[in-house]
Homo-oligomer: A and B are copies of this chain.
Amino acid sequence: MLSKKTKYAIKALVVLGKNADKPPMQISKIAEEERIPKKFLEQILLDLRNAGFLYSKKGAGGGYSLNKDPKDIFLVSIMRITDGPIAMVPCASLNFYHKCDECKQETTCGIRDVFVEVRDATLKILSETSIADVINRETTLINI
């Protein structure tokens, strides 16, 4: 399951992506528009900023704005910051690998083999889909 943290992160980035040409947007405005608890969002945006996705400005008229082109922010990167591993089992994770406690022989584990396949299928989609794509999907969906 995707954590709420990640879902909120994506939603915030989408809003900021739509807002790209305007002045910085305040936490409270994003929180209100997307119905996200403000203080929780505050932490999330900070993580995204520390990861280099956002630019922040303090003081009056401050707020957050994207630090990258929405085309260059992929869902997989966001998820790895906020949720961690993409794979469903730790032993199949590329970036957050660790051995399963009870596994005897990882190299010949059929379960792992299947979930590596699942991971790759998931990864393909998530590493090809950017914030810009999500925004495009929304406008496409509206016109159906």
Contact = CB atoms under 8 A, between A and B. Distances in A.
Interface stretch (A22-30, A42-50, A58-66, A100-108): A100-108
B11 A107 contact: no
A72 interface: no
Contacts of A7: 89, 100, 111
A78 to B, nearest CB: 11
Protomer copies: 2
Interface string A52-78: 000000000000000000000001000
A141 B122 contact: no
A129 B1 CA distance: 21
A35 interface: yes
Contacts of A90: 1
Interface in A83-135: 85, 88-90, 100-102, 104, 107-111, 113-115, 117-118, 121-122, 124-126, 129, 133-135
Interface of A: 1-2, 7, 10-11, 14, 34-36, 75, 85, 88-90, 100-102, 104, 107-111, 113-115, 117-118, 121-122, 124-126, 129, 133-138, 141-142
